[in-house]
Amino acid sequence: MTNKKRKRNNNNNNNNNNKNDVSKKNQQEISSASSTPKRTKSNQPSNFLQKILVLQMRARLSGGHFRMINEKLYTCTGKEALNYFREDSSLFNLYHAGYKTQMSNWPEQPVNVIIKWLKKQNPSFVVADFGCGEALISKSVKNTVFSLDLVSNDPDVIACDMANTPLDSSSADVAVFCLSLMGTNYQTYLEEAYRVLKLGGWLLIAEVKSRFDPNNGGADPEKFSKAISELGFNSVKRDFSNKMFLLFYFTKKEKHDSKRKKEIEWPSLKPCLYKRR
């Protein structure tokens, strides 16, 4: 694949109208919430306060929905997540609306740190953005970027489970995982990145700090790093200076030996669940 612009993957089910029960329920809740305030003859809410209450209730419902989808993504496999969004791709937009709200509370966005890093590298580097979300990397750099996510609302995004991408082997110079190692089978995403990367290619991982707090049920970053090294990477640099996220930089080394691969001990990464505000 040589073109940056990719046709939308047919796996994408944007037209699927099968809403799941929860989304139906919430829609009902939203519409009944909207009809609560008394209306005047002109069919306007009777007062300003009631209008505000309705807006607050809607925001709370969509916030709850975001937390539910988020929890689902952290506690299932990539395959299950793909099916989940196939049943109702509107959940993906809901997720990303909530994700943006969460991110707006962070002093720095990890994706911007990665974009800054990429801008200092060779512009001919081919980038694979695993779990690209709104494809901010592709929109910000001149490089060829293959943006991968479970749902594609954008012709530049390839819809797939990133454990199994349509990218050619040894075709990318950089593989990025920015807050996207969500599935319980996250190691299969890293194996896929290993396949897709050229020898010497970069693997960049940004993850939520709390997922790596061994005193609080999180993984030991040393064990995580060791497992990735055993997969066939050199750990080049780490940046743990940010309050919210960790950054790991690896490069792909020799072909890994399949016997060793089976012995790799992958620490489980604690789901990043958001509290109700």
Residues binding ligand SAH (CB under 6 A): 73, 78, 81, 99, 111, 131-133, 136, 148-150, 161-162, 178-180, 182-183
Kindly list the strands in the beta sheet with 172-178, ordered across the sheet, starting from the edge strand earlier in the chain.
157-159, 144-149, 126-130, 172-178, 197-208, 245-252, 233-239
- Pairing type for strands 144-149 and 126-130 reads parallel
Half-sphere exposure of 36 (CA within 13 A, CB side): 16
Q: Minimal distance in Å, beta carbon 51 to ligand SAH?
A: 32
- Name the β-bridge partners of 128: 146, 175
Q: Minimal distance in Å, beta carbon 133 to ligand SAH?
A: 3
Q: Minimal distance in Å, beta carbon 49 to ligand SAH?
A: 36
Contact between 208 and 244 (Cβ < 8 Å): yes
Contact between 240 and 246 (Cβ < 8 Å): yes
Cβ proximity to ligand SAH, 128 vs 182, nearer residue: 182
Cβ proximity to ligand SAH, 133 vs 232, nearer residue: 133
CA pair distance 92, 66, nearest whole angstrom? 9
Q: Minimal distance in Å, beta carbon 83 to ligand SAH?
A: 11
Cβ proximity to ligand SAH, 68 vs 136, nearer residue: 136
Cβ proximity to ligand SAH, 11 vs 171, nearer residue: 11
Q: Minimal distance in Å, beta carbon 183 to ligand SAH?
A: 5
Strands (E), the chain: 126-130, 144-149, 157-159, 172-178, 197-208, 233-239, 245-252
3-state helix, strand, coil in the chain (%, to 5): 45, 20, 40
| H helices present in 143-266, as ranges | 186-196, 221-232, 258-263
Cβ proximity to ligand SAH, 26 vs 152, nearer residue: 152
Q: Minimal distance in Å, beta carbon 74 to ligand SAH?
A: 9
Cβ proximity to ligand SAH, 73 vs 190, nearer residue: 73
